[in-house]
Amino acid sequence: MTKLNQLKDIHNSGKSYAIYKSIKGFDLYTDFSKKITLNNKNIYKFLNKKIAIKKPKKTDLFIGFFGYELLNNLIGIKVPKQKKINFPKGIFYKPEKTISFNNNLDYQKNTKDRFKKKFKININKKSYTKIFNEFKKKIKSGETYQIKICTKYKMKSKIDPLDFFCRLSKTNLAPEAFMIKDKDYSIISCSPENLICKKGSSITTKPIAGTVKKNKKMNKAHALSYFRNNLKETKEHNMIVDMERSDMSRICEVGSVKLSKEKAVEEYKDLFHYVSLIKGKLKKDIKNIDVIKAMMPGGSVIGCPKISTLNLLNNQEKENRNIYTGSFGYIKFNGDMKFNIIIRSILNYKNISEISVASGVVVDSNAHHEFEENFIKAKALIDLFK
């Protein structure tokens, strides 16, 4: 049996499974022997869990996600009462089986889903502009230097997550793409952003700050020139890089935190991103819970300074973010871990598809531009429903 037939059989069997982008292609994790649904109390026990290893295996890990609200609570940030769908705050699985695939994931459906309804946005342009102007005042008063306004697109729909993920991987392959299919929910993501890659005492993070739409005139070289000459994009990028360097410095040896790659351009289906890479060496007494508390939620999708900006966001937003700006990845039994930032994602729960996006507001930002940027970020996912 070919690997693709195995994938199809696992999918059609009703088994729960997860797929995560690897360097060479994709890794599938299934045959889960444990499912840990996290809450504000048991997360400490989970993160401090130590498991002895006799003969290391590829399945010696937990894979899953931390939701945004859970991460806020972990660092002592209260989220006011908001509209919520009662989706779990976080879930991790212990796989007993893995299968590796190349980049050419293929899944042929017998029928095509038909989506008669259209996505509804939770904040229209007028409401967005009002929030934008309020946050501009906060920036000018010094309460924050940059802040991200989250907008959600929702539609009632029953989807085939593997079909969506395979099509998405062909049209918008991203280095942190993943999917989860469980009995009562699915997540499909083309996240481009790695937040934590920890191997032994080495740690890296790859902040993304800066977005420009692709068109016939805007190629990769022009995008780099645009970013370098755009004061707003440069300020936004520098602030986020400085903040994530600061986050890493709390857990790394003095002098070890350095920029490994500075202000490069990455290309995606509908846009270009401005990215940097930061690396460091962890202090000897640092545990995984210390790393997660220092690095999450990821600064590039929140704003800075992190704590005061989180408080401003949480008091303004009327709905739970759920998975959005949380993190998906794995923690190995030997302590190594890898986590992304959950953006460019579809959460399908109770037959409702939810896409959340956000753009950064700095003192030089324009409300119309930022509102349109949000739609650009959501477009690759919305197009899957056509």
> Which domains are assigned to the chain?
3-205+282-385 (3.60.120.10)
Q: How far is CA 247 from CA 32, 66, 74, 251, 298, in A?
A: 33, 18, 15, 8, 10
Q: What is the pLDDT of residues 233-247, one digit of tens each?
A: 888 888 889 999 999
195-204, 283-292, 303-312: range with lowest mean pLDDT: 303-312
Decide which of 53 and 228 is more confident: 228
104-108, 183-187, 270-274, 378-382: range with highest mean pLDDT: 183-187
Per-residue pLDDT, averaged over 52-69, amounts to 91
Task: Grade residue 55 by pLDDT with cuts at 50, 70 and 90.
Answer: confident
Per-residue pLDDT, averaged over 17-36, amounts to 96
| Distance separating alpha carbons of residues 274 and 209, to the nearest angstrom | 6
The set of long-range contacts for 105-110, using a CB threshold of 8 Å and a minimum separation of 24, is 105/4, 105/7, 105/19, 105/26, 105/165, 105/166, 105/169, 105/170, 106/4, 106/166, 107/4, 107/7, 107/8, 107/11, 107/162, 107/163, 107/166, 109/160, 109/163
DSSP type of residue 27: E
| Distance separating alpha carbons of residues 188 and 305, to the nearest angstrom | 30
91 and 330 Cβ atoms separated by less than 8 Å: no
Q: Is pLDDT above 80 for 111?
A: no
Q: Is pLDDT above 70 for 42?
A: yes
DSSP type of residue 386: -
70-84, 106-120, 331-345, 351-365: range with lowest mean pLDDT: 106-120
Q: Is pLDDT above 70 for 323?
A: yes
Is 120 buried (19+), middle (13-18) or exposed (0-12) by CB count in 10 A? exposed
* pTM metric for this prediction: 0.92
Q: Note the pLDDT of residue 209.
A: 83
Q: Note the pLDDT of residue 1.
A: 66
